[in-house]
Structure 1
Amino acid sequence: MNTSGNMPPVPLADCIDRAIQKIGSYIAWSYVLLVLVIMTQVILRKGFSSGLILLEELQWHLYAVGVMFGLAYAQTTNSHIRVDLFYTGFRARSKYIIEIFGILVLVLPFISIIFLHSLEFVADAWRINEHSESPSGLPWRWLIKSVIPFSMAMLALAALSRLYRDTVLLFRGDA
């Protein structure tokens, strides 16, 4: 079963995409938790004139987890935002070439830079056991910072899967 929209099947890429989508479907539950946290915070603030800093920080963290891992999910389902003004009218071969070029020249270098720079950032957070500056805030800021390299690695895997798929389809001549 092809998991990348209406693209022709490429077994290895389909397998990678399914795995990323499975992880993404579990992480999507963070949005349900996010809504519950927001509702709780609103009720506390508006109903009892007392919100919790811990809940406010938890909102930021849950949103970050959903967005960061959602990038890889969007890549595998081809549901990311793109400007299709001209692209939709191109032949399949031209689209594959554009995708390959975009992944090699734009996406992978971007992911590499973010990933490499995040390693020291995360290591420092772990080293000092970074936590919220607020006494009543979340105690494990190093944990949310760890999402950055993990999500970038997953996005890189998704981009490599797409690169492989488009390369195979280009050389196979699928339209």
Structure 2
Amino acid sequence: MNNLSSSHQEQVAFADAIDLFIRRTGMLIASVYVVLVGVIITQVVLRKGFASGLIALEELQWHLYAVGVMFGLAYAQVNNAHIRVDLFYGKFSLRTKAWVEIFGMLFLVFPFIAVVFIHSLEFVHSAWVINEHSDAPSGLPYRWLIKAVIPASFGLLFMACVSRFIRDICFLLRGKH
């Protein structure tokens, strides 16, 4: 939901389509947590039961957790489930809240996303060119694949913020109070 109360949620077809796509993607990505739990249980049984853990499973845990968290950013944004430090915002009118959101996105969120996204492309490309893999002999190959989560998840986060931005602009333009 938008930061505006649900009764003032703007229905905008393009933003609704973005949100639906992000919610469906988020639910699909959330399945990595089921796999993560299975990997953790397997690693614990191997370590405690057989005194023999696998480095690849240890690394897979980090990778699965990273995928869930990184893609969870966009899901949290669309569902307004992110943490907000709010000293004054809660007392603002709906119009003021919309202006704060727009200002924050234009001058804080969008530039941050752009910097991370742009710099992550070279990061992923370099890892792909050298076919980067784990330094551990039995570690995971294709490190560029996990690094590719950064631009992909920030691209999705950008889409989520565009949806919020569109809704706030429409709210202000329609003049609802």
Q: How high is the TM-score relative to the length of structure 2?
A: 0.94
DSSP 3-state at the match of 1:105: helix
Q: Report the identity percentage.
A: 62
Cα RMSD (Å) of the superposition?
1.2
Q: Within 5 Å, which residues of 2 pair with 1:74-89?
A: 74-89=76-91
CA distance in 2, matches of 1:64, 1:76: 19
- C-alpha deviation, 1:139, in angstroms: 0.9
The residue that corresponds to 1:103 in the other structure is 105
The residue that corresponds to 1:69 in the other structure is 71
DSSP 3-state at the match of 1:136: coil
User: Which one of 114, 117, 120 corresponds to residue 119 of structure 2?
Assistant: 117
1:162 aligns with 2:172: no
DSSP 3-state at the match of 1:28: helix
- C-alpha deviation, 1:85, in angstroms: 2.8
- C-alpha deviation, 1:86, in angstroms: 1.9
- C-alpha deviation, 1:11, in angstroms: 2.1
CA contact 2:10–2:170 (8 Å) conserved in 1: no
The alignment of Structure 1 onto Structure 2 pairs a total of residues equal to 173
Runs of 4+ in 1 over 3 A off after TM superposition: none
The residue that corresponds to 2:148 in the other structure is 146
Higher RCO by CA contacts (8 Å cutoff, separation 6 or greater)? 2
CA distance in 2, matches of 1:171, 1:134: 56
CA contact 1:8–1:174 (8 Å) conserved in 2: no
1:172 aligns with 2:174: yes
CA distance in 1, matches of 2:45, 2:130: 35
